[in-house]
Structure 1
Amino acid sequence: MGNTTTDPQTGGESLAVEPRLLTSAGEVAEILPQLLAASVVGLDCETTGLDPHRGRLRLVQLAAPGGPVYCVDCSAVDPRVLQPLFAAPETPVLVGHNLAFDLAFLSTAGLVLPPQRWLVDTGLAGQLLEATPAMPSLAALAERHLGVALDKAHQQADWGGALSPALLDYAARDAAVLVPLYDRLTAALKQQGLERAAALEFRALPFVVWLRLSGVPWDPAAWEAAVETAEAELAAATAALTSLLPQDGLFGPMADPDSPQAMRQALSALVGQDLPDTADGTLALLDHPAAAALRRYRRVATLAQRYTRDWATVHPTTGRVHPDWRQLGTATGRMACTAPNVQQLPRDGGYRRAVAAQDGRVLVKLDYAQIELRVAAELSGEERLLEAFARGEDVHRRTAQLVLGVADPTPADRQRAKALNFGLLFGMSVEGFQRTAAADYGLRLTLREAGELVEAFFRAYPGLRRWQAERHNAGVSAVRTASGRVRWAVRRPTERMNTPVQGTAADGLKAALGLLWRHRERLGTAVPVLVCHDEVVFECAAEEAAAVAEAAQALMVEGMQRYLRRVPVEVEATVCQNWSGDGR
C-alpha cells in the first residue's frame, strides 16, 4: 500500500505522500512518459467551484504506484498538455472518486476522452459493493478498505489563491490513496461477483458526464404557462370539492381538504359507510362525486405545490437547466436526478413542454417498449409471453384474449388486460390489484371480480406464477440482476421480484449508454438531454433527426439485447419539438 504514518488527530494510519508541484508545460512533458508507463494512475482535481461552466480547474493531481504525486497547477499550465494521458485508450487505468465531477471540469478545460478510455470510479465501486444509492465518501472507503485516515479539513478551502504546503499535501493524499484503493476494491468486486456490473457502470460514466454538461433545453414561457394552468385548476378543484362538503356543523371549518382524517370523516358521512382511509385507491373505488372531487383536488394540489415558478434554474452561462444526475440513484441501479428532478415531470399539465429544443433543432425521444414485461418474460421463461413478444403481438391484446376469453378484444378489454399485466408483474395482492385497477386504469372491480381476474391471469401465465412463487418463498436473500448487480438481504417479496426485473432493465440501459458514448460520432450534432428510466432523449439539428433516431435505436437495442436473449427488444422513436411530443 505504500508508506504510512500515524495520524495524530485520528490515531489511524495516514499515507505518507510526496507532492510535487508542476508549474510549466515542460515539467508536465517530462513526467508524462512515467505516467503513461504505469498500469494505474490515481486522478483527482481541485477546482475553484462546483459548477464546471463557471468554475475552473486549479490542480490536477496524478499518482502512479511508488512515485510522487504530481500536482499540475492549471493557473500556470494549460491542462490540455495532459491530453496524451487521457488519449491512451486502455492503459494506464485512470482511477478517481466521483469521476463525474472531475471529468466535467476536465472536459470543459479541453481534455477529450477517446471512446475506449478505461476509467474506474471508486465511488461507483463502493456503491455496488454496499448496494446503496448513496455514494460513500473517499474518506469512508479509505478507512473501510485500507484502514487509512484522510483528513478532509481542507475540503472547503479556497483553491483560487496561493497553494500552501498544507493544501498541496491534502490534494496529494486524495490522489495517492486511489492507487491502493483501486487494488482493494477490484479484489472485492471480483469476490462479490460484481465485476460485470462495475464494468457496465464504468463504461456508462462518460455518457453521464456528457449528459450533465449538455443540459436540458428550457422554455421559460412554456413553464410559466403550465404553472398558471395548475394554479387555475387548483382554484377550480378547491371550489368544486368545497361545494360538495357539508357547510355546517362538524364538517364546516374543520373539513380541511389537506387533512386525511377530516376528509375520511366527511366522506364517510357522505357515502354512508366508514372508510378505512382516503388513499387514492380507496377513493377510486367509490362512485361518489365527492370522492372524485377529492382525487382531482389532491392531484392538482400536488402539481401546483411541487412545480412552482422557481422549480428550475436556467444557467446564466449556458441558458439551459443542468440537473444533478446520479448514475446509481436507486437500489435497483436506475439513474436518478435532483435539482431539479426532471425525471418526475408529469405527462399531463403541460410541464414537459418546457423541455423544448432550441431553434433549428428538435428532440428525439427513444423509449424501450414494454421493457419490464419483456424482462419478466425473459427471467421467468413464461412461454406464452415469450411467444407473443417473438411474434410482435400486442401483449395487452393477447392477455385480453387469454384471460378474458374474447377473440377480438375491445379497447375496454385491452385496458383491463393492461391493468393485469402491469399490476400483477411484481406479486401484487388481490386487494392491491383492485385498488390499482381503479386508481390507475379507471376499472372499478368488486373484490371477487378482482380475485377471479388475478387467478385467470396466472392460469394463462403459469411460468410467471412459478417464478413469483420462487421469489416469494425465498425468505431474506440477496437478489441479483442479469449483470450481477446485487441487493443484499432483501426481505420484501415484491422487492425480490421487482429488483431483478427493474434492475436488469437498468443493466440494459447502462449498456446502451456506454454504446451511445462509444459511437457518438454516429449521432452527428446530437447531445443527450435527459434519461428517464427506460427513455433517452437527445437534441439534434432538425435535418439530422431521422439519422440520429435510426442510429440511437440500433445502439439502444444492442445494449439491452446483451441481457435479453430470448425476447426481442423494441425502441420507439419520436421526433418532436418538446418532451410532451408536440410539434416537429
Structure 2
Amino acid sequence: MHNCPMTEFASAPADQAESQPQLLLVDGSSYLYRAFHALPDLRVDPNDRASQPTGAIRGVINMLTVLRKQYPKAQYAVCVFDAPGGTFRDDIYPEYKAQRAPMPDDLRSQIAPIHEAVDLLGWRVLAVPGVEADDVIGTLARTAAEQDIEVIVSSGDKDLAQLVTERITIIDTMSGKRRDLAGVQTEFGVPASLMVDYQVLLGDSVDNVPGVDKVGPKTAAKWLTEYGSLDAIVENASKIKGMAGENLRKALEWLPTGRQLLTIRTNCDLTGYVDGLPSLDAVTGREINAEAMVEFYKKYGFKTLAKGLEAGQSKTASPAAGSGPKSGSNSDPSTGDLFADPPAASRAGELKYDVVFDWPAFDAWLAKIEAAELTALDTETTSLDEMQARIVGISFSVTPGEAAYIPLAHTGPDTPQQLPLDEVLQRLKPWLENPGKKKLGQHIKYDRHVFANHGIEVRGYAHDTMLQSYVLEVHRPHGLASLAERHLGRKGIQYEDLCGKGAHQIPFAQVAVDKAAEYSAEDSDQTLDVHLALWPRLEENDKLRGIYELEMESSEALYRIERTGVLIDGDALRVQSHELGQRILALEKEAHELAGQPFNLGSPKQIGEIFFVKLGLPVVKKTATGAPSTDEEVLEKLAEDYPLPARILEHRGLSKLKGTYTDKLPLMVNAATGRVHTHYAQAVAVTGRLSSNDPNLQNIPIRNAEGRRVREAFVAPPGCVIASADYSQIELRIMAHISGDEALLRAFTEGLDVHRATAAEVFGVETEQVTSEQRRYAKVINFGLIYGMSSFGLARNLGIDNTAARNYIARYFERYPGVKKYMDDTRQSAKDTGYVETVFGRRLYLPEINSPNGPRRAGAERAAINAPMQGTAADLIKMSMVQVQKALDEQQRKTRMIMQVHDELVLEVPEAEVEWMRSEIPRLMAGVAALKVPLLAEVGVGPNWEQAH
C-alpha cells in the first residue's frame, strides 16, 4: 500500500517564462467512462454484438488527440487510471463508494486495450495499486508546480478543483470549461484554497460521502465567505440559526472524517511507478509508435485510422515532442473516422478567424473558396422562419482552423462600416449557383431558402453534417453543438450567449460584429471538422452511404416542395371555423345539461368530480397518484355507454381542430406567395419518416367529416387539379418481402385482397365465403401484428376476450410461419446488435432492447418488428419523391409536388398534364425498388386534396 500523508505546499510564483515547461496530466478514469457513454456501441465486427467492444477505446484516443493538439509543446505527459482494489479511504470508511454500480463488462474489457493505446500514443500510463488516480494526479501536479512547471490537468471531475493554483489549471476538453483561479471562484463562489472545505460541507453523493444535510452550494459558499474557513464555521456552529445550523451541529463529529476522505493527497509515495521524484524525467512524452499503432488499429477494426497512419498522412508527434500540425492538414491518423483534424477551439496558436470589412479581404476569400475542393458555408439571419429570413452575415471555412465572417446587416451601436449586402451577394452569386463548386453545410435546406429569399438558387451542396449524423446515429441529437461536443470534444459559443433568452433576447443583427464573427466563423469551422469526422465512416459502409445519398437527394426535393407551398381557401376555412365555434358552444351546453351543472370541460379535476362523485361512473383506471383517470383512453371507453364522455370527447376534438387548423391556417399564408409553406424536418423520426410543422400537415384528422373538410380547403389554382399518389398496403408488402412468407408473397403476387386472403387462412374458409366482419378482423390482425400488437391489444381492438385473441394470433402464425420466424429472428438480432435495418440498410437503433425494465424492453421489441417496415416505407416514399422530381425536371413539366404526407405524394397538376401524370407517377413510384412483391401506387385527382382521395 502506497502511503499518502496529508501535507500543505506553498503556491508557486506567478511569473512564467514563455518557454516554461508543461506537464499534461490526464484523468484516464474520467476519460474512459465519458468515452464509453458518449460514443455508440462500436465493435471490432459491427455485425457481431459478441465481438470486442471498441467505443471507449476510440473515444479515449480521440480525447487524447484533442489535448495533444491543444498543448503541442508539453514536455511531460501522463495518463492516470484507477488501479483495481481498495485504498486507504476504504479503511477509513467502509461505505466509501459503496453505492457505485460495478463497471459494465463492455467497459471492463476495453481497459487493457486503452492502456496499450495510450502507451503507443506516447503517454506514460500510470495505475498505482492502493492509490486513487486523483491522488496520483495531485502528487504529480504539486511536485511539478513546485518546480515552476505549468500543470494542465484534463478531467471532467470538479473535485480536482481543490488542486488549482497559479501553476495548476484544470481543463475539461468535453465541455470547454477551464478551472483556473478565476474560473474556480466564478463557478463555485469560493477560492480554490477553500475548495476542500466547500466539498466537505456538501459531501459527495457519487462517492457516498455524507456532508451537512440540506446544505447546498449556495449555503456552503455563503458560510465560507462569512467565516473564512471550515474550522471557523465549526467554531461558530452554535451561532448559526435555522435548520441548516441544526444539521451542521449534528454533523460536527463526522466532518473530520469527511475531510480525510475528500482531500486529494499530494505527496503519495510513487516509488516503483514514478522513480526519481521530484525529477519528472520518468514521465517525459514520447513519439507515437507508428508501426505498433497501425497493428493496434487493425486489430480493433479502426480501418481508416490504420490506413491514415500507414499512408503517413500525419507525422504529428506526441504532446511532448514539441511540434504541432500545420493548420492546413487534412487528416490525423490518431483520430481517423471520428475526427480528422483537431477542433478549432483546441488549436493553440493555430486558430485564424477573419472578419471581412473591405473588398481586398473579400476578394482574397472569394479566391480561396473558388479554389477549394469543399467549402463549409453558414448564414446568420433575421429569423428561424426560412421563408422570411434575411441575411445578416455569411461565414466560410475551407481549411480546419481557418474561417471568415462577412458582416452585412448588423445594426448594433458602434457597428463598423460593412460591405453592401446586395453587392456582396451579387459577387458571390456565380460561385453560389455553380454546381461544380462543392459546398458543405449544417441543415443545408434552411440556408438554401435563405439565399433564395435574396434571389439566389444555391447549387453544388455536396454534404450536410446534420444528415450525416442522422444516418450514422439516428438515436442521438443532430444539432451542430451536440455534434461538435460528441465528435470533436469541443463546446462552442451558444446562440443564447450572444443574444440572450426569452423576452430579453436581441436580434442577431444587434450582436456586436466581433462576437458575431467568432460565433459564425466557429460554426463553419466546426461544420468542416464534423464532416471530416463523419464522412469517412459513411464512405466505409456502402449501405449507409446509399441512405445518406438518398437523404441528400430528398433534401433537394423537399426544398422544392417547401418553396412551392400549397394554396388554401382561407374563406372556406373561416366559414368552417365559425361553424365549429357554434358547435363547440352547443356541445358545452349539452355537457352542462348532462352533468346537471356548469363546469370547465378542459379541467380533469372537475371532470373527475362530476364523473365519479356526482354521476358515479365506473373508474376505468387510475393516475400515478391514485386518482381516477379522465384521459383520452378513459373517455373513449366510457363514451361507449355514457353520453357525457362522448360530448366531452367531441368537444375536445373540434376545439383542437379549430385552434390548430381552421383558425390558424389562413393566418399562415405567406404574403409574398399567397401560399402556406410547411417545414419538413428531415432528421427527427428514428424510422426515417419526415415530420411536418408550421403547419403540421400530417396530423389533420381524416376519420371524421370535419377533419376531411379541412383538407377540402387545400385547393388547386385555376387550370390545375390536385393529385394524390400513394402506395397501396405498403407495410404489408414490405412484411411479405422481409419475411419471405410464401402465403403472403402469393397473395400479393396474384393481386389478391390480402385481408380477405388472411381471413380465409385464419378462419379456415374459402376466399369467396369470407364475411365483411371476418375481413375486418383479418385487417386488424394484419396491421396489428406489424406494430407488435399483443393478444391483449388485439382483444381490446376487436372487442373480444383474450383467449379468442390468442387463438386468432396462433392460427395466423400457423398459416404464416414466415412472419413468425421473421419476428423471432428480428427480436434476437436486435438484442444482439442493438439495432435493426431497413431493406436498404438504414439503421434503426433500439437503446432499450436489452433493458432490465420489462415494459421498456417489450416496447423496444415491438419497435424492432415494426421499424424495418416503417423505415423501409419511409425510404421508398423518399425514393419516389426524388424520382418524381427528376422526371418533372428532365421532362420540363409544369406539375409540381406540393406535399409529402406519410406514404403519399400530393401534386398540383395542370389540366393538360393530368393524363401524363395518371400513367407516369404510378410507374415511377412502382419502379423505385425491386421487392419480392410488386409495389403498387394509386392516384386520385380532384379540385382539392380531400376529393383527390
Aligned twin of 2:425: 79
Aligned twin of 1:290: 642
- For residue 100 of structure 1, what is the amino acid of its counterpart? K
Identical amino acids, percent of aligned pairs: 25
What SS is found at the alignment partner of 2:384?
A: coil
C-alpha separation in 1, matches of 2:848 and 2:437: 38
C-alpha separation in 2, matches of 1:573 and 1:369: 10
What SS is found at the alignment partner of 1:322?
A: coil
What SS is found at the alignment partner of 1:302?
A: helix
2:396 to 34, 37, 62: 62
What SS is found at the alignment partner of 1:321?
A: coil
Matched, 1:501 2:869: yes
C-alpha separation in 2, matches of 1:100 and 1:20: 25
Q: Compared with structure 1, are the counterparts of its residues 9 and 455 closer, same or farther at alpha carbon in structure 2 (3 Å cutoff)?
A: closer
Q: State how many pairs are aligned.
A: 561
C-alpha separation in 2, matches of 1:228 and 1:76: 45
Q: CA deviation at 1:102?
A: 0.5
Aligned twin of 1:215: 565
Contact preservation (8 Å) 2:487, 2:530: yes
Aligned twin of 1:178: 527
Aligned twin of 1:572: 938
Matched, 1:302 2:653: yes
Say which is worse superposed, 348-357 or 548-557, in terms of deviation.
Answer: 548-557
C-alpha separation in 2, matches of 1:544 and 1:490: 50
- For residue 502 of structure 1, what is the amino acid of its counterpart? Q
List per-residue Cα deviations over 1:403-437 (Å, max 9, x = no partner): 22243134333322222211222221112012223
C-alpha separation in 2, matches of 1:526 and 1:70: 41
- For residue 168 of structure 1, what is the amino acid of its counterpart? A
Contact preservation (8 Å) 2:720, 2:909: yes
C-alpha separation in 1, matches of 2:756 and 2:901: 26
What SS is found at the alignment partner of 2:686?
A: coil
Say which is worse superposed, 201-210 or 117-126, in terms of deviation.
Answer: 117-126
C-alpha separation in 2, matches of 1:4 and 1:510: 43
- 5+ residue gaps, structure 1: 438-443
What SS is found at the alignment partner of 1:77?
A: helix
Matched, 1:122 2:457: no
C-alpha separation in 1, matches of 2:883 and 2:363: 33
C-alpha separation in 1, matches of 2:926 and 2:555: 19
How does 1:125-524 map onto structure 2 within 5 Å?
Answer: 125-132=468-475, 135-136=478-479, 138-152=480-494, 153-154=497-498, 158=507, 164-189=513-538, 194-234=544-584, 259=604, 261=608, 265=612, 275-276=620-621, 289-290=641-642, 294-295=645-646, 297-308=648-659, 309-312=662-665, 313-347=668-702, 348=704, 349=706, 350-404=709-763, 405-408=765-768, 409-437=770-798, 444-473=799-828, 475=831, 477-482=834-839, 483-491=841-849, 492-521=860-889, 522=891, 524=893
Q: TM-score, normalised by structure 2?
A: 0.53
RMSD of aligned Cα (Å):
3.8
List per-residue Cα deviations over 1:64-98 (Å, max 9, x = no partner): 22696455556142535445434554x55421112
What SS is found at the alignment partner of 1:62?
A: strand
- For residue 843 of structure 2, what is the amino acid of its counterpart? R
C-alpha separation in 2, matches of 1:113 and 1:44: 12
Q: CA deviation at 1:282?
A: 7.4
- 5+ residue gaps, structure 2: 1-65, 72-170, 179-344, 409-419, 500-504, 622-628, 850-859
List per-residue Cα deviations over 1:182-234 (Å, max 9, x = no partner): 11011344578733322221221112222222222211222234334444544
Q: Compared with structure 1, are the counterparts of its residues 41 and 148 closer, same or farther at alpha carbon in structure 2 (3 Å cutoff)?
A: same
List per-residue Cα deviations over 1:3-30 (Å, max 9, x = no partner): 9799998446267124252766x98777
C-alpha separation in 2, matches of 1:281 and 1:54: 40
Q: Compared with structure 1, are the counterparts of its residues 294 and 143 closer, same or farther at alpha carbon in structure 2 (3 Å cutoff)?
A: same
- For residue 845 of structure 2, what is the amino acid of its counterpart? R
Say which is worse superposed, 2-11 or 37-46, in terms of deviation.
Answer: 2-11
What SS is found at the alignment partner of 1:325?
A: strand
List per-residue Cα deviations over 1:268-291 (Å, max 9, x = no partner): 966xx7645777777778895427
Q: Compared with structure 1, are the counterparts of its residues 269 and 71 closer, same or farther at alpha carbon in structure 2 (3 Å cutoff)?
A: closer
Q: Compared with structure 1, are the counterparts of its residues 287 and 44 closer, same or farther at alpha carbon in structure 2 (3 Å cutoff)?
A: closer
1:13 to 335, 346, 360: 346
Q: Bigger radius of gyration, 1 or 2?
A: 2
C-alpha separation in 2, matches of 1:67 and 1:76: 29
2:443 to 88, 98, 108: 98
Q: Compared with structure 1, are the counterparts of its residues 159 and 378 closer, same or farther at alpha carbon in structure 2 (3 Å cutoff)?
A: same
Q: Compared with structure 1, are the counterparts of its residues 161 and 427 closer, same or farther at alpha carbon in structure 2 (3 Å cutoff)?
A: closer
C-alpha separation in 2, matches of 1:523 and 1:369: 28
Contact preservation (8 Å) 2:352, 2:402: yes
Q: TM-score, normalised by structure 1?
A: 0.83
Aligned twin of 2:901: 532
Q: Which has the higher contact order (CA 8 A, sep 6+)?
A: 1
- For residue 393 of structure 2, what is the amino acid of its counterpart? L
Q: CA deviation at 1:396?
A: 1.4
C-alpha separation in 2, matches of 1:524 and 1:133: 40
Say which is worse superposed, 572-581 or 183-192, in terms of deviation.
Answer: 183-192
C-alpha separation in 2, matches of 1:411 and 1:225: 38
- For residue 366 of structure 1, what is the amino acid of its counterpart? A
